[in-house]
Structure 1
Amino acid sequence: MSTHDTLERSPAGPPARALAGASAAGARRRRGPVARLTSWLSGGLVQALLIVVALVWITPLAGLLFSSLRDEETNATSGWWTALTEPAQLSFDNYSELLADSGIVQAFWNTVMISVPTTFLVVAVAALAGYAFAWLEFPGRDAVFLLVVALLVVPVQIGLLPIAELFGRLGLYGTIPGVVLFHVAYGLPFAVFLLRNYFAEIPKEMLEAARIDGGGEARIFVRLVLPLGRPAIASLAIFQFLWVWNDMLVALLFANTSSQPLTVALQSEMRQFGSNIGILAPGAFLSLIVPVLVFFAFQRHFVQGVMAGSVK
């Protein structure tokens, strides 16, 4: 057997290694920008930088937590970081006092009753409207969609007084349904715009195949479009929930004492008692921890929604 034949047949020979190197180089060139970005982000320097950013981001949260677990006198005489070396400072007395305050507890449940229905209604209506604007033919579809997009530039402040007057006539002013309706109305334009653009990226052939198989529009929407649009829907739900949960302007104007959410209740406590850290710190942490838990619970869907449509 000749040396040339041996080199050609040997998998470890120079020609094989050259071919493998060329294939690897071609694979690296074929990688998309997302893959290259992911490879770069996996570097040690970037990971160290991200750890530093995470520590900076979480430090105020840790400070609020430790402050909420210390009494007012200790908070006034020393910094919260001293609790790291003196854990005897920590107790749940502030939370016991907070939960004994019926006004704060009622405000917390008011926040839940405002945020959850608003998020559900915005997502449900926007999903239906987004599918209709993306794939259903009806007269004036483009004009109506342009009108919806135009509403994105309308500031919330413009509608406060007219809607307050309208709600007063309808008996909705100062009620939880009134606050919910206001949030739904101003949350829908962006939600419809987002989901319509996402649903429009679904392959047309897939929808046509479902119609050929006898699927109606309602069944296609429930069985096909909603599962494919889950990342965008989850991202929208997270943003809408966080915005409504942390809102104070709308609730301050449209809610009364019996329907005010936690943000307004804490602002009222601050106005009445000044720097009453024994109530404000645990109340603020309670108001903060719920959105954080919601975000981390749905972060996988959120990341999928952010990466959707990226070039592979």
Structure 2
Amino acid sequence: MSTLPTARSLASRAAGGALRVFLVLAGLFWLLPTLGLLVSSFLSPTALNDGGWWQALTAPSRLTADNYERLLANETVTGSLIDTAAIAVPATLLVLALGAFAGYAFAWLEFPGRDWLFLIVVALLVVPVQVALIPVSELFGSIGLFETTAGVVLFHTAFGLPFAVFLLRNFFAEIPRELLEAARLDGAGELRLFARVVLPLGGPAIASLGIFQFLWVWNDMLVALVFADSAHPPVTVALQQQVRQFGNNIDVLAPGAFLSMVVPLVVFFAFQRQFVSGVMAGAIK
């Protein structure tokens, strides 16, 4: 009788250990392209032509930092990182701010047509970006926003808001009504209630939304290719221009592509705890 629980415990531990090993191997396999890009960014074009990036595992002496020196000397690529940040940061902050206000309004404020307006917001989720490129281009051209940073920020903000409002409204609606009523009885107005109660409780959802929005804007190429200033392109467009101008310019493309990946990875790991909390809270709700 005493051996049965022990056998079950051993079987459970073995299954858990096998699962951990599988997850570690899956994670390493998923990171393999990133590792290949990192190693390629430290190999010269000649070394890459001689073989794949894995040759560095047997001949680490072939690794060199010359590619990054050339990259830092390329003003187009280095300047594009700053231009991308000038687009991604405002577009993310605007979506978070406007989405939070609108989500709170749809969740807890009574006004005429609230449900119909929310249905329209949900319907906008299915509108593809490609449909709006031509009409928005004509609109931006008529008001002087075409090929400007402000135009790209506004476009990303407009297309990021429907999902932001939908996500935050559903999250805010799960806040206990008694908590809000207690704050109102203590004399809190709507703005104070929003700032002191709703925002702290909705922090994980807002952080998760911010990560998604930042990654989408940072990695975007289509909108940047159409609306961004051709003299100051974002990093995705700048790297694409390197291919068009210089062919297989691997000594610039590899380190440039890796640097463009580093920033989203840093943002994700910096807010990893809030992201997991937001996902788990959404799953529990």
**What is the CA distance between 1:310 and its match in structure 2?**
3.6
**What is the CA distance between 1:139 and its match in structure 2?**
1.2
Equivalent in the alignment of 1:266? 239
2: CA distance, partners of 1:127 / 1:165: 30
2: CA distance, partners of 1:228 / 1:127: 12
**What amino acid is aligned across from residue 100 of structure 1 in structure 2?**
A
Equivalent in the alignment of 1:122? 95
2: CA distance, partners of 1:171 / 1:309: 41
CA spacing shift, 1:226–1:94, aligned 2, 3 Å:
same
Output one character per residue of 1:17-49: Cα deviation in whole Å (capped at 9) or x when no partner: xxxx9xxxxxxxxxxxxxxxxx99991121111
Equivalent in the alignment of 1:196? 169
Which of 90, 106, 117 aligns to 1:133? It is 106
**What is the CA distance between 1:258 and its match in structure 2?**
2.2
On the 8 A contact 1:156/1:186 being kept in 2, the answer is yes
Which of 45, 50, 53 aligns to 1:72? It is 45
Equivalent in the alignment of 2:9? none
Equivalent in the alignment of 1:256? 229
Can you give the 5+ residue segments of structure 1 that lack an aligned partner in the other structure?
1-20, 22-38
Which of 110, 135, 147 aligns to 2:120? It is 147
1: CA distance, partners of 2:253 / 2:37: 10
- Between stretches 269-278 and 200-209, larger displacement belongs to 269-278
On the 8 A contact 2:121/2:162 being kept in 1, the answer is yes
TM-score by length of 2: 0.93
2:265 is the alignment partner of 1:292: yes
> Which is greater in Rg?
1
2: CA distance, partners of 1:311 / 1:155: 30
1: CA distance, partners of 2:282 / 2:95: 23
Q: Write out the 4+ residue segments of structure 1 that deviate beyond 3 Å after TM superposition.
A: 39-42, 309-312
**What amino acid is aligned across from residue 219 of structure 2 in structure 1?**
N
Which of 10, 15, 32 aligns to 1:59? It is 32
Cα RMSD for the two superposed structures? 1.7
2:233 is the alignment partner of 1:227: no
**What is the CA distance between 1:76 and its match in structure 2?**
0.7
**What is the CA distance between 1:224 and its match in structure 2?**
0.7
**What amino acid is aligned across from residue 116 of structure 1 in structure 2?**
V
Equivalent in the alignment of 2:74? 101
1: CA distance, partners of 2:37 / 2:15: 32
Equivalent in the alignment of 1:308? 281
Equivalent in the alignment of 2:8? none
2: CA distance, partners of 1:41 / 1:224: 45
1: CA distance, partners of 2:13 / 2:242: 48
Give the total of aligned pairs. Answer: 275
1: CA distance, partners of 2:193 / 2:207: 19
1: CA distance, partners of 2:18 / 2:192: 49
Output one character per residue of 1:161-181: Cα deviation in whole Å (capped at 9) or x when no partner: 010000001111001000000
Equivalent in the alignment of 1:160? 133
2: CA distance, partners of 1:119 / 1:236: 9
**What amino acid is aligned across from residue 267 of structure 2 in structure 1?**
V
